[in-house]
Homo-oligomer: A and B are copies of this chain.
């Protein structure tokens, strides 16, 4: 580990200038600055309650200081989603409702998944599934995870079930790893732009910070490095050489590396040549290399809550397992996941080809829409998102304008993610999620066009009385 700044620290490539990420849970994308206590100090005066105003206690002395920080994340970050959930688009019931191009979910294969999960082999209910199990996960599931990752990550040797810990999603895994690897106040390095919700995941329980590679973080002890590949929101994948370079850098500084490969099966362009870190012949520092995967993205099941850790470090696996009593998933779901992961025939012959074809078609559609608008964007062939450069729509190039533009989209009934939420240095970048049904994409892009052409149904500049606190705005 080391203390920033390090003179010799140069991160390998991938650090685009402007960036921002937002997902379920990072809400409307208020500035996630990666440092909870600082946020708390700055933001507490703006705290707002939720729900029925009559029931809201303005006395937050019920909560501890960290409880107030935790609540603040909910209150501030959920605004976009609260607005969305109060007015969700529905083709029949609410055709003028909000189209969500903000949440990174794959809604293209619900039909395939519902059919597969409804098959009779999924419906096992036996006593052992209803009773306390190994907190690391049932052995039958960890065996399937090891086999699954061995195959799909192209591991040179079979991966081992004893290195697997399963739990209820990637968010929990970030929380657990941050807690067992770092003291409170220490940090992970993360190349930006990055999936902004990680800020909360490492902070809310663990009180761990993120140090952005572009930042001048001083005096923070760095314990590890977080790599996301394919990257969110850029869609970049690391080449084996880049991976080796990162890992060697980490080893030199005795840094843990958390490699989040949650989009590994969502590479829909074959030319991309994605490589899992588990496919490398040799890891420079296997005891400090910890791999994450989940079904949320690659199987379009963010509501199913299944994630897994793969690490050769027995201490880390055990410490995470010890926290898994708080991140456990139902035995019934463990059984279903084992059935799903072992069904390589269905995955290879039905699910993946169809999923990739649908992702590619949806990506092509949104790309062409953006091209027609003259909007520059990154085109990568992996993930569910397009990282688009709307800087020309911000006359002064400020984050205030970025937020106003985001609001104009929302007011015109389309939810997007803006750059600040991904720690983008440069205002004006937005993330477009394209992994949705054609009719919703089409309507969403039409509304985007209206806003950019100044033809949206709301005023370009809202009257002063409306430019109040974000969290009050739409309630």
Partner-B contacts on A (CB < 8 A):
24-25, 49-52, 55-57, 59-60, 62-68, 70-71, 73-75, 85, 103, 105, 107, 110, 113-114, 117-118, 123, 125-135, 162, 168-169, 171-172, 175, 179-184, 186, 200-201, 204-206, 223, 256, 287-288, 300-306, 312-316, 318-319, 321-323, 325-333, 336
Contacts and interface: CB of A to CB of B under 8 A. Distances in A.
Given A64-B180, A172-B327, A304-B332, 16 more contacts: A49-B314, A50-B318, A57-B313, A63-B315, A63-B319, A66-B179, A67-B181, A70-B323, A73-B322, A117-B130, A117-B332, A168-B330, A172-B325, A175-B326, A305-B328, A332-B336
A71 to B, nearest CB: 4
B316 A62 contact: yes
A412 B123 CA distance: 38
A45 to B, nearest CB: 16
16 contacts: A25-B132, A25-B325, A49-B314, A62-B256, A64-B180, A64-B182, A64-B186, A70-B322, A103-B132, A110-B127, A114-B127, A117-B332, A130-B303, A171-B326, A329-B330, A333-B333
A102 B91 CA distance: 55
A132 B180 contact: no
A50 B320 CA distance: 13
A127 B103 contact: no
Contact of A326 (B181, B205, B316): B205
A181 B105 contact: no
A287 to B, nearest CB: 6
A286 to B, nearest CB: 11
Contacts of A62: 181, 256, 287-288, 313, 315-316
Given A318-B74, A322-B73, A205 B179 contact: yes
**Copies of this chain present:** 2
Given A107-B131, A322-B74, A326-B172, A118 B114 contact: no
A113 B24 CA distance: 34
A184 B134 CA distance: 28
B118 A125 contact: yes
Nearest to A324: B74
B205 A287 contact: no
A169 B256 CA distance: 31
Contacts of A55: 162, 312, 314
B49 A315 contact: yes
A330 B318 contact: no
A183 B66 contact: yes
A132 B319 CA distance: 28
Given A71-B322, A179-B66, A180-B64, A303 B129 contact: yes
B318 A71 contact: yes
A399 to B, nearest CB: 24
A179 B329 contact: no
A349 to B, nearest CB: 21
A70 to B, nearest CB: 5
A288 to B, nearest CB: 7
- 4 closest A-B pairs by beta carbon, nearest first, are A67-B180, A74-B322, A303-B331, A24-B132
Contacts of A256: 62
A315 B49 CA distance: 7
Given A60-B315, A162-B51, A182-B64, A303 B117 contact: no
